[in-house]
Amino acid sequence: MAKSKYEYVRNFESDDRLLPSTWLVVRIDGQGFTKFTERHGFAKPNDIRALHLMNRAAATVLGCMSEIVLAYGQSDEYSFVFPKNARSYDRRASKLTTLVASRFTSAYVYYWHEFFGTTPLQAPPAFDARVVVYPTDRIMRDYLCWRQVDCHINNMYNTCFWTLVTQGEMSPKDAEKRLSGTLSGDKNELLFSQFGINYNDVPDIFKKGSVLIRGIELVDVTDRHGVASKRPKGVVLTLHCDIIKERFWTEHPEILSGTPITAQRRQERQEQTPGTDTA
């Protein structure tokens, strides 16, 4: 940047670098999505097209920001987890939030037609963003537990609510009154006894949300001598699984270590190849 007498105005900028050695979670939320979903005729209680679009937009963010180790999404929100050793954009809160939100939003618009076909985008979607620092692995995991439990609670309520409205022919006001004060067991019983719906059969993407992590797949390649072989390629995997129990974290230790699996595999290949410079 060229120097001038006006450069002093930079002194008014805030230093918003986040605490080092802490987990960073950027969460985006849809703005005014109640009206947005109504305007575009989203299916109730869940529109699978919309959820797949959210996942596609989130995968785009992971493709642009290599330090993200995990993303979790449900409904109109997504959380992106940066490890303790993340250095992206000098850990500046303003950079991280604006880039995640803008990349997600632009991808949401760009890929809209792939999931909604000829349904036109009638209004520009918007997502706000915030970033929170979490000092320990346990607290970061508890944050993700909170979001997944929220997904389950909201989905069970919405499944009951819209079933009462669409199949039970209740008004929204009467359906809300019917569900007032009910517990999880009550809702399960209501769905099964009145409508023959076993909540356990509801797709996991609705009950558990979506988990995006990095993985490896083998792809066919041919070298310049015409020799075919398989080589590992980094990919984004979309799972619909329980992230509250220990099993998920045991199966994916690279997340808590802060080392993306793609980098781990690259290092392993280098160590296995004689004469390879790993510097």
Mean pLDDT of the 78-85 span? 97
Identity at 221, one-letter amino acid code: V
Q: Inform me whether the pLDDT recorded for 132 exceeds 70.
A: yes
Burial 8-47 (b: 16+ CB within 10 A, else e): eeeeeeeeeebeeebbbbbbbbbeebeebbeebebeebbb
Mean pLDDT of the 109-114 span? 98
The confidence band for 262, taking pLDDT boundaries of 50, 70 and 90, is low
Q: Inform me whether the pLDDT recorded for 258 exceeds 90.
A: no
pLDDT score at 276: 38
Share of the chain above pLDDT 90, in %: 83
Nearest Cα residue to 82 out of 25, 27, 131: 25
CB 111 within 8 A of CB 16: no
Q: Inform me whether the pLDDT recorded for 1 exceeds 70.
A: no
Mean pLDDT of the 217-231 span? 86
Measured between alpha carbons, how far is residue 26 from residues 116, 127, 271 in Å?
27, 12, 34
Place of tokens 């390629």: 233
pLDDT score at 123: 94
Q: Inform me whether the pLDDT recorded for 278 exceeds 90.
A: no
Which region among 65-69, 109-113, 254-258 has the lowest average model confidence (pLDDT)? 254-258
- Half-sphere exposure of residue 243, counting CA atoms within 13 Å on the CB side? 33
CA gap 104, 60 in Å, rounded = 7
> What is the residue-averaged pLDDT of the chain?
91
Which tens digits make up the pLDDT trace of 228-247? 888 888 899 999 999 999 99
Q: Inform me whether the pLDDT recorded for 279 exceeds 60.
A: no
CB 235 within 8 A of CB 261: no
pLDDT score at 260: 63
Q: Inform me whether the pLDDT recorded for 264 exceeds 60.
A: no
Token pair of 196 as six digits = 């023959």
Model pTM? 0.89
> Is the link from the previous residue into 125 a cis peptide, with omega within 30 of 0?
no
CB 214 within 8 A of CB 255: no
CB 202 within 8 A of CB 151: no
Q: Inform me whether the pLDDT recorded for 105 exceeds 90.
A: yes
Which tens digits make up the pLDDT trace of 157-207? 999 999 999 999 999 999 999 999 999 999 999 999 999 999 999 999 999
Which tens digits make up the pLDDT trace of 6-50? 999 989 989 999 999 999 999 999 999 999 999 999 999 999 999
Nearest Cα residue to 238 out of 202, 201, 200, 205: 205
pLDDT score at 261: 60
DSSP assignment of 201-215: GS-HHHHT-EEEEEE
Identity at 206, one-letter amino acid code: F
User: Radius of gyration of the chain from Cα atoms?
Assistant: 23
Q: Inform me whether the pLDDT recorded for 51 exceeds 80.
A: yes
pLDDT score at 270: 47
